[in-house]
Amino acid sequence: MSIRSAVAHRNLLYLFTLKELRTRYRGSVLGWAWSLLNPISQMIIFSIIFLKVFGGVPPRGNASGLENFPLYFLSGLLPFQFFAISVTASIGSVQG
């Protein structure tokens, strides 16, 4: 699928994404907010564990100079979760 095709059919992609979110979070109490609260809660828990319990000092980024561990952790967690969910969904799609 090329980028031009995706841009040309962006409305269809939007509707498919909306349908997926509605069906996934239909019975949950928090609804779509859960998709935001899950990574944020993981970031908070891991930050408390690594910074407070273990007393770790986050390494300073070479080019960015980033010293904020929660932001550093979240920037790696989000792409990993996207990849993991994509692989899981694709396996179910192939089986179906």
Take residue 34 and report the two structure tokens written for it. 């859960």
Q: How confident is the model at residue 13, as a pLDDT?
A: 82
Residues 7 and 37 placed together within one structural domain of the fold: no
Do residues 19 and 46 both lie within one domain?
Answer: no
83 and 49 in a common domain: yes
Is the same domain home to 16 and 36? no
Asked if 67 and 37 sit in the same domain, the reply is yes
Mean pLDDT by 10 residues, the chain (96 residues): 77 85 78 79 85 73 67 84 86 77
**Domain that includes residue 48, residue range:** 32-95
- What is the reported pLDDT for 3? 78
Rounded-to-integer distance, Cα 19 and Cα 11, Å? 12
What pLDDT shows up at residue 95? 78
Provide the pLDDT for residue 74. Answer: 83
Q: What is the pLDDT of residue 93?
A: 75
The pLDDT of residue 46: 83
CA distance from start to end of the chain:
21
Kindly report the length of the chain. Answer: 96
Residue 66 has a pLDDT of 64
What is the rounded distance in angstroms from the CA atom of residue 82 to the CA atom of residue 93? 16
Query: Could you give the CA distance from residue 88 to residue 57 in angstroms, rounded to a whole number?
Result: 34
Query: What's the confidence (pLDDT) of residue 91?
Result: 85
For CA atoms 71, 75, 76, 82, give the dihedral sign. positive
